[in-house]
Structure 1
Amino acid sequence: MWRTAGWLCLPALVVACGAGFPTGKTVFDENCAVCHGTGGLGDGPFADKFLSVPPDLTVLTRNNGGEFPTLYVTNIIEGHGRGDHFSGAMPEFAVTLEGKAFRIEPLVDYIESLQK
Protein backbone atom coordinates (compact mmCIF):
# COMPACT_ATOMS: atom_id res chain seq x y z
CA MET A 1 0.00 0.00 0.00
CA TRP A 2 2.79 2.46 0.88
CA ARG A 3 4.44 1.80 -2.44
CA THR A 4 1.24 2.70 -4.27
CA ALA A 5 0.81 5.85 -2.18
CA GLY A 6 4.38 6.87 -3.02
CA TRP A 7 3.77 6.47 -6.74
CA LEU A 8 0.56 8.48 -6.50
CA CYS A 9 2.44 11.37 -4.85
CA LEU A 10 5.21 11.42 -7.45
CA PRO A 11 3.43 13.70 -9.98
CA ALA A 12 2.76 16.28 -7.27
CA LEU A 13 6.41 16.15 -6.21
CA VAL A 14 7.60 16.68 -9.77
CA VAL A 15 5.31 19.70 -10.16
CA ALA A 16 6.37 21.11 -6.79
CA CYS A 17 10.07 20.84 -7.61
CA GLY A 18 9.67 23.06 -10.66
CA ALA A 19 7.31 25.50 -8.99
CA GLY A 20 10.06 27.89 -7.88
CA PHE A 21 11.38 28.55 -11.36
CA PRO A 22 9.88 30.89 -13.95
CA THR A 23 8.91 29.51 -17.34
CA GLY A 24 11.14 30.02 -20.34
CA LYS A 25 8.61 32.47 -21.77
CA THR A 26 8.60 34.48 -18.55
CA VAL A 27 12.41 34.71 -18.52
CA PHE A 28 12.37 35.67 -22.21
CA ASP A 29 9.68 38.32 -21.73
CA GLU A 30 11.49 39.83 -18.74
CA ASN A 31 15.04 39.74 -20.09
CA CYS A 32 15.15 39.22 -23.86
CA ALA A 33 12.05 40.76 -25.43
CA VAL A 34 13.19 44.33 -24.85
CA CYS A 35 15.80 43.79 -27.57
CA HIS A 36 14.70 40.68 -29.47
CA GLY A 37 10.95 41.50 -29.40
CA THR A 38 8.16 39.39 -27.96
CA GLY A 39 8.24 37.11 -30.99
CA GLY A 40 12.04 36.92 -31.14
CA LEU A 41 12.28 38.79 -34.46
CA GLY A 42 14.90 41.29 -33.27
CA ASP A 43 12.35 44.10 -33.21
CA GLY A 44 12.08 44.92 -29.50
CA PRO A 45 11.66 48.50 -28.25
CA PHE A 46 15.42 48.85 -27.61
CA ALA A 47 16.49 47.20 -30.89
CA ASP A 48 17.24 50.50 -32.61
CA LYS A 49 19.43 51.72 -29.74
CA PHE A 50 22.38 49.54 -30.75
CA LEU A 51 24.93 49.74 -33.55
CA SER A 52 23.91 46.27 -34.70
CA VAL A 53 20.35 44.99 -34.78
CA PRO A 54 19.59 42.11 -32.38
CA PRO A 55 19.38 38.87 -34.36
CA ASP A 56 16.13 37.29 -35.44
CA LEU A 57 15.89 34.29 -33.11
CA THR A 58 13.16 32.64 -35.19
CA VAL A 59 15.56 31.53 -37.94
CA LEU A 60 18.25 29.84 -35.84
CA THR A 61 17.15 26.36 -36.91
CA ARG A 62 16.88 27.33 -40.59
CA ASN A 63 20.32 28.95 -40.48
CA ASN A 64 21.80 25.84 -38.85
CA GLY A 65 20.86 23.26 -41.47
CA GLY A 66 17.46 22.46 -39.96
CA GLU A 67 18.73 21.61 -36.48
CA PHE A 68 18.24 23.94 -33.53
CA PRO A 69 21.69 24.93 -32.17
CA THR A 70 20.97 24.21 -28.50
CA LEU A 71 24.56 24.34 -27.28
CA TYR A 72 25.33 27.52 -29.23
CA VAL A 73 22.25 29.30 -27.86
CA THR A 74 23.03 28.14 -24.32
CA ASN A 75 26.61 29.38 -24.62
CA ILE A 76 25.57 32.76 -25.99
CA ILE A 77 23.07 33.29 -23.16
CA GLU A 78 25.64 32.26 -20.57
CA GLY A 79 28.28 34.49 -22.15
CA HIS A 80 30.61 31.74 -23.37
CA GLY A 81 32.09 31.27 -26.83
CA ARG A 82 31.28 34.73 -28.08
CA GLY A 83 33.48 35.38 -31.09
CA ASP A 84 34.59 38.62 -32.73
CA HIS A 85 31.29 38.72 -34.64
CA PHE A 86 29.44 39.30 -31.37
CA SER A 87 28.59 42.96 -30.73
CA GLY A 88 28.82 42.73 -26.95
CA ALA A 89 25.50 44.53 -26.48
CA MET A 90 23.86 41.45 -24.97
CA PRO A 91 24.65 40.92 -21.29
CA GLU A 92 26.04 37.65 -20.02
CA PHE A 93 22.90 36.38 -18.37
CA ALA A 94 24.71 33.74 -16.34
CA VAL A 95 26.16 36.68 -14.41
CA THR A 96 23.10 38.95 -14.63
CA LEU A 97 20.73 36.32 -13.26
CA GLU A 98 23.18 34.84 -10.74
CA GLY A 99 21.51 34.14 -7.43
CA LYS A 100 18.01 34.17 -8.90
CA ALA A 101 15.84 31.08 -9.20
CA PHE A 102 16.58 30.49 -12.86
CA ARG A 103 17.21 27.54 -15.12
CA ILE A 104 18.54 28.10 -18.61
CA GLU A 105 16.95 25.01 -20.19
CA PRO A 106 13.37 26.37 -20.22
CA LEU A 107 14.61 29.60 -21.83
CA VAL A 108 16.49 27.71 -24.54
CA ASP A 109 13.43 25.48 -25.07
CA TYR A 110 11.25 28.57 -25.42
CA ILE A 111 13.60 30.08 -28.00
CA GLU A 112 13.47 26.77 -29.87
CA SER A 113 9.67 27.01 -29.85
CA LEU A 114 9.90 30.34 -31.70
CA GLN A 115 11.47 28.72 -34.77
CA LYS A 116 9.73 29.16 -38.13
Structure 2
Amino acid sequence: MRTSIWSIMGSGLLTVGLVACTEELSMPDRTEGAAFFADNCVSCHGVRGHGDGPLAAGLPTTPSNLATLSRRNGGTFPDARALSYIYGDPMQAHLARVMPQFGGAMAEDLVPVEFDGIMTPTPRVLAGLLAYLESIQE
Protein backbone atom coordinates (compact mmCIF):
# COMPACT_ATOMS: atom_id res chain seq x y z
CA MET A 1 0.00 0.00 0.00
CA ARG A 2 1.33 3.39 -0.96
CA THR A 3 0.85 6.42 1.30
CA SER A 4 1.18 9.89 -0.14
CA ILE A 5 2.96 12.71 1.62
CA TRP A 6 -0.32 14.67 1.50
CA SER A 7 -2.22 12.08 3.53
CA ILE A 8 0.59 11.95 6.10
CA MET A 9 0.67 15.74 6.35
CA GLY A 10 -3.13 15.92 6.56
CA SER A 11 -3.18 13.40 9.41
CA GLY A 12 -0.47 15.31 11.22
CA LEU A 13 -2.28 18.63 10.83
CA LEU A 14 -5.53 17.10 12.08
CA THR A 15 -3.76 15.70 15.14
CA VAL A 16 -2.04 19.02 15.85
CA GLY A 17 -5.39 20.79 15.41
CA LEU A 18 -7.16 18.49 17.86
CA VAL A 19 -4.37 18.84 20.42
CA ALA A 20 -4.43 22.62 20.06
CA CYS A 21 -8.21 22.61 20.50
CA THR A 22 -8.04 20.57 23.68
CA GLU A 23 -5.50 22.95 25.19
CA GLU A 24 -7.53 26.07 24.37
CA LEU A 25 -11.01 24.75 25.11
CA SER A 26 -12.53 24.00 28.43
CA MET A 27 -14.45 20.78 28.23
CA PRO A 28 -18.16 20.87 29.05
CA ASP A 29 -19.26 19.27 32.29
CA ARG A 30 -22.41 17.80 33.74
CA THR A 31 -23.65 21.29 34.76
CA GLU A 32 -23.82 22.40 31.12
CA GLY A 33 -25.44 19.07 30.25
CA ALA A 34 -28.01 19.48 33.02
CA ALA A 35 -28.99 22.89 31.61
CA PHE A 36 -29.41 21.42 28.11
CA PHE A 37 -31.44 18.52 29.59
CA ALA A 38 -33.70 20.95 31.48
CA ASP A 39 -34.32 23.00 28.33
CA ASN A 40 -34.77 20.15 25.85
CA CYS A 41 -35.47 16.81 27.50
CA VAL A 42 -37.46 17.18 30.73
CA SER A 43 -40.83 17.59 28.99
CA CYS A 44 -40.66 13.96 27.80
CA HIS A 45 -38.02 12.24 29.96
CA GLY A 46 -38.92 13.94 33.25
CA VAL A 47 -36.79 15.81 35.77
CA ARG A 48 -34.88 12.67 36.83
CA GLY A 49 -34.77 11.14 33.33
CA HIS A 50 -37.19 8.31 34.12
CA GLY A 51 -39.35 8.82 31.01
CA ASP A 52 -42.19 10.36 33.01
CA GLY A 53 -42.24 13.96 31.79
CA PRO A 54 -45.49 15.91 31.41
CA LEU A 55 -45.73 15.13 27.68
CA ALA A 56 -44.81 11.44 27.98
CA ALA A 57 -48.37 10.13 28.34
CA GLY A 58 -49.42 11.67 25.01
CA LEU A 59 -46.57 10.20 22.97
CA PRO A 60 -47.00 7.11 20.78
CA THR A 61 -43.81 5.61 22.28
CA THR A 62 -42.90 5.86 25.97
CA PRO A 63 -39.68 7.85 26.43
CA SER A 64 -36.71 5.80 27.63
CA ASN A 65 -35.65 5.77 31.25
CA LEU A 66 -32.32 7.53 30.78
CA ALA A 67 -31.22 6.76 34.34
CA THR A 68 -30.92 3.05 33.51
CA LEU A 69 -28.87 3.21 30.30
CA SER A 70 -25.79 1.73 31.99
CA ARG A 71 -27.75 -1.04 33.69
CA ARG A 72 -29.34 -2.00 30.36
CA ASN A 73 -25.87 -2.01 28.77
CA GLY A 74 -24.15 -4.46 31.11
CA GLY A 75 -23.04 -1.78 33.59
CA THR A 76 -21.26 0.44 31.05
CA PHE A 77 -22.62 3.80 29.95
CA PRO A 78 -23.23 3.54 26.17
CA ASP A 79 -21.83 6.97 25.30
CA ALA A 80 -21.28 6.47 21.56
CA ARG A 81 -24.68 4.85 21.04
CA ALA A 82 -26.44 7.51 23.13
CA LEU A 83 -24.74 10.31 21.20
CA SER A 84 -25.63 8.68 17.90
CA TYR A 85 -29.29 8.52 18.87
CA ILE A 86 -29.48 12.03 20.35
CA TYR A 87 -27.61 13.71 17.52
CA GLY A 88 -29.63 11.87 14.92
CA ASP A 89 -28.77 8.32 13.96
CA PRO A 90 -28.24 8.29 10.17
CA MET A 91 -29.63 4.73 10.08
CA GLN A 92 -33.03 6.02 11.22
CA ALA A 93 -35.29 8.07 9.01
CA HIS A 94 -36.32 11.20 10.89
CA LEU A 95 -40.00 10.32 10.49
CA ALA A 96 -39.44 6.98 12.25
CA ARG A 97 -38.30 8.81 15.40
CA VAL A 98 -40.48 10.36 18.04
CA MET A 99 -37.56 12.20 19.62
CA PRO A 100 -36.25 15.18 17.64
CA GLN A 101 -32.77 15.01 16.18
CA PHE A 102 -30.35 17.57 17.53
CA GLY A 103 -27.85 18.69 14.94
CA GLY A 104 -27.45 21.60 12.60
CA ALA A 105 -25.98 24.73 14.19
CA MET A 106 -24.67 22.88 17.25
CA ALA A 107 -22.16 21.18 14.95
CA GLU A 108 -20.29 24.48 14.71
CA ASP A 109 -19.05 24.30 18.34
CA LEU A 110 -17.15 21.02 18.60
CA VAL A 111 -14.96 19.55 21.33
CA PRO A 112 -12.89 16.35 21.15
CA VAL A 113 -14.49 13.47 23.05
CA GLU A 114 -13.04 9.97 23.28
CA PHE A 115 -15.32 7.17 22.07
CA ASP A 116 -13.88 3.66 22.04
CA GLY A 117 -10.33 5.05 22.13
CA ILE A 118 -10.90 7.48 19.24
CA MET A 119 -10.97 11.24 19.71
CA THR A 120 -14.15 12.38 17.97
CA PRO A 121 -15.28 15.97 17.27
CA THR A 122 -18.57 16.26 19.17
CA PRO A 123 -21.00 19.15 19.61
CA ARG A 124 -20.12 20.81 22.90
CA VAL A 125 -23.68 20.81 24.24
CA LEU A 126 -24.03 17.09 23.55
CA ALA A 127 -20.70 16.30 25.21
CA GLY A 128 -22.06 18.07 28.30
CA LEU A 129 -25.35 16.19 28.00
CA LEU A 130 -23.50 12.86 27.89
CA ALA A 131 -21.58 13.84 31.05
CA TYR A 132 -24.88 14.68 32.73
CA LEU A 133 -26.62 11.48 31.62
CA GLU A 134 -23.71 9.39 32.84
CA SER A 135 -23.93 11.14 36.23
CA ILE A 136 -27.61 10.23 36.74
CA GLN A 137 -27.21 6.49 36.20
CA GLU A 138 -28.80 4.33 38.91
- Out of 98, 103, 107, the position equivalent to 1:94 is 103
Cα RMSD, aligned residues only: 3.1
Report the TM-score, using the length of structure 1 for normalisation: 0.72
> What CA deviation, in whole Å up to 9, does each residue of 1:18-67 have, x standing for no partner?
4xx97000000000111000100000111011111101001100000010
**1:56 to 2:65 alignment:** yes
- Out of 105, 108, 112, the position equivalent to 2:130 is 108
The 1:96–1:36 alpha-carbon spacing in structure 2 relative to 1, beyond 3 Å, is: farther
Residues matched between the structures, number: 101
Report the TM-score, using the length of structure 2 for normalisation: 0.61
- SS of 1:23 mapped into structure 2: helix
By how many angstroms is 1:98 displaced? 5.8
- Out of 31, 36, 53, the position equivalent to 2:45 is 36
Q: Which has the higher strand share?
A: 2
Could you list the runs of 5+ residues in structure 2 that have no partner in the other structure? 1-21, 111-122
More divergent stretch after superposition (75-84 vs 60-69): 75-84
By how many angstroms is 1:94 displaced? 1.3
